[in-house]
Amino acid sequence: MKSTAGWLWTSILFTITTALDTGITYPNNTPPKGVDVWCGKAYRATDSILVEAGWQHPPPPSKEPLLELTCRPRLKPYVKGLSPRPGVLFDAKVHTPFLQFPFVNATPPQRIWVSAWIGSISLGGGYMDLGGQLEIQFAGLEELSTRMEAYTVDCEAAVGPAEAPFASATAELFWLPPNPYGGSTVQLDTKTDELVSASFRGHKIFPIGYYTGWGNYLAGNWSDLGHIKKAGFTMVHPIPGGGPASVAWGEESGSLERFREFMDKAHEVGLWVMYDMRHTFASAEELEVQVKMFRGHPALLLWYTADEPDGHNNPTDSTLLAYNTISALDGYHPISFTPNCQNYFFTQYASGADIVIPDVYPVGLNPTFSNVYNTPCNRTYGCCGCDNCAATLQDLGTRILEMKEYARCSGTHKTFWGVAQAFGNSEFWTRMPTKAEMVEMSRDAVVRAGAKGLLYWSAPTTREIWEGTADVAKWMNGYAAEPVIRMEEVGGKETIKSEL
């Protein structure tokens, strides 16, 4: 790889679209002995195997219109005392290409009746139009005990309230006690995919910031946090060193205590912290040490587990195991990871995250021939630094849209952010992005693809790149107008120019 809002009414979203079987298997993805792989693909000139495993194909077509039914809680999690009224969101669509539920008499009605239950407790129901969305609010949670484990919501669709259901779906609903650890509580609004800070009376957050060097940047000068905040960024994502948690933030004794002091300073200047466990996410013991250390800190925004596990070929269930461990220790912050590959066991790795943050680095590289390994790059072979990219400024936005479709076809809902390239002149990349290119990559990911957060790899970076991303940060957080983009010919090549 490398607006403040009032309290949200809780609800459940019902989505009626096409879907596949939601049962996920986790195949062994160990490569052949002696073969190095990235995204499951051999990439050295001495290796010639072709890889098809892990590719998610679209479901087979159907000649008849079919119904996809999904539902989900409006908020994750609901917290007693913070969520005055819970609910469920439904979406309804009809598709012919995908398999799911056949309509009664094979004819789609203009509207259907949807309902939701937790055990014997009815969460309500209502009519909804196909192709629309329905939010049902209810008061049933007060009848249930708060707990750290999820409740199962059973959702059904029928022609009418007195008719037998012909489609069903399930969802997880978290109903937690007030945060016993203190610090921040961050909820995910699954209707808008925004983060909501319950600690600041429902303030919505657009997370934007850099993966940030530790030993070469933040560890030696915490005053830089003030510059980061002043530039318009809302969060910081320090990159840990290798090894166990005890040395993640320096070899000296008290590494984790030192990082807590850093988080204190971040909170003082008004920055959120994205806590990175990339080197330790496969160890339940290491996760427990770090989660218990920082789950009660007011600066904590979310957890970050695996960095490009699909590229590194980590076990396909590794992110899910980490997710389950963290969730059992702290249900009050979302969990995220970054995939690097276009389509390699996406459903498996994404099952271990609330937020998926693909990183795509298309500037200054040849997407079809590797200048590092002197091999071609295609769907089943080679590594060129940007898996199956077109080397355009729209690659990041396109990857987000592709992965949204993967999630939809697997019957799941994920929130998507993006990671844009803020580096170059190394490995596969022959140059740095320009300021205008940084603006356009970011803008496309947000406007066209709907990214709800942005990260950049990595700081420190050049002044030009920093200024471009700061323009984006100010725009996204309402401090400045959207940058104006126009195309110009410069040096015989089409580039992007940005103006405020």
For residue range 490-499, what is the model confidence (pLDDT) as tens digits?
233 333 333 3
Could you give the residue range(s) of every CATH 3.20.20.80 domain in the chain?
A: 194-499
Q: Tokens 């094979």 sit at which residue?
A: 106
pLDDT, residue 485, reads 52
Q: Is the pLDDT of residue 417 over 70?
A: yes
- Could you tell me how far CA 301 lies from the centroid of its own chain? 13
Single-letter amino acid code for the residue at 290: Q
What is d(CA 4, CA 22) in angstroms, rounded to the nearest whole number? Answer: 36
Pairing of strands 418-421, 454-459: parallel
CA–CA dist 328, 222 (Å, integer): 32
Give the mean pLDDT of 262-285.
97
Separation of alpha carbons 17 and 146, rounded Å: 31
Tokens of 241: 């060193």
Segments of the chain assigned to CATH 2.60.40? 12-19+60-177
Q: How far apart are CA 285 and CA 268, in angstroms?
A: 30
Q: Cα–Cα distance between 66 and 16 in angstroms, integer? A: 10
Q: What is the token pair recorded at 60? A: 């087979």
CA 191 to chain centre: 15
pLDDT score of 4 more than 90: no
Six token digits for residue 175: 């109903």
| Structure-model confidence comparison of residues 11 and 159, the more confident one | 159
Q: What are the φ/ψ torsions at residue 62 (nearest 5 degrees)?
A: -125, 140
DSSP letter at 472 equals H
Could you tell me the end-to-end alpha-carbon distance of the chain, in angstroms, rounded to an integer?
30
User: E strand or H helix at 350, and its extent?
Assistant: helix 346-350
Element spanning 223, H or E: none
Render pLDDT for 175-228 as a digit per residue (tens, 0 to 9).
999 999 999 999 999 999 999 998 766 789 999 999 999 988 998 778 899 999
- Count of CB atoms situated within 10 Å of the CB of 334: 20
At 96 the pLDDT is: 53
User: Which pLDDT score, from 0 to 100, does residue 5 have?
Assistant: 27
Q: Evaluate if residue 107 carries a pLDDT over 80.
A: yes
Mean pLDDT score, 60-88: 87
Per-residue pLDDT reduced to its tens digit, 234-252: 999 999 999 999 999 988 7
**What DSSP string runs through 271-299?**
-EEEEE-TTTTT-HHHHHHHHHHHTT-TT
State residue 12's pLDDT score: 61
Structure tokens at 47: 């290796």
Stretch 374-390: mean pLDDT, rounded? Answer: 95
In percent, the amount of the chain with pLDDT more than 70 equals 90
What pLDDT is stored for residue 21 in this prediction? Answer: 41
Task: Write out pLDDT tens, residues 110-137.
Answer: 899 999 999 999 999 999 998 888 999 9
- 437-489 pLDDT, tens digit per residue, is 999 999 999 999 999 999 999 999 999 999 999 999 999 988 777 775 544 42
Contact 137, 85 (CB under 8 A): yes
For 194-499, CATH gives: 3.20.20.80
Which candidate, 110, 67, 121, places its Cα nearest to that of 91? 67
pLDDT tens string 291-350: 999 999 999 999 999 999 999 999 999 999 999 999 999 999 999 999 999 999 999 999
- C-alpha to C-alpha distance for 394 and 441, rounded to whole angstroms: 6
pLDDT above 60 (res 6): no
Q: What one-letter code names the amino acid at 298?
A: P
Domain at 12-19+60-177: CATH code: 2.60.40
Report pLDDT digits (tens) over 354-375: 999 999 999 999 999 999 999 9
Q: What is the pTM of this model?
A: 0.93
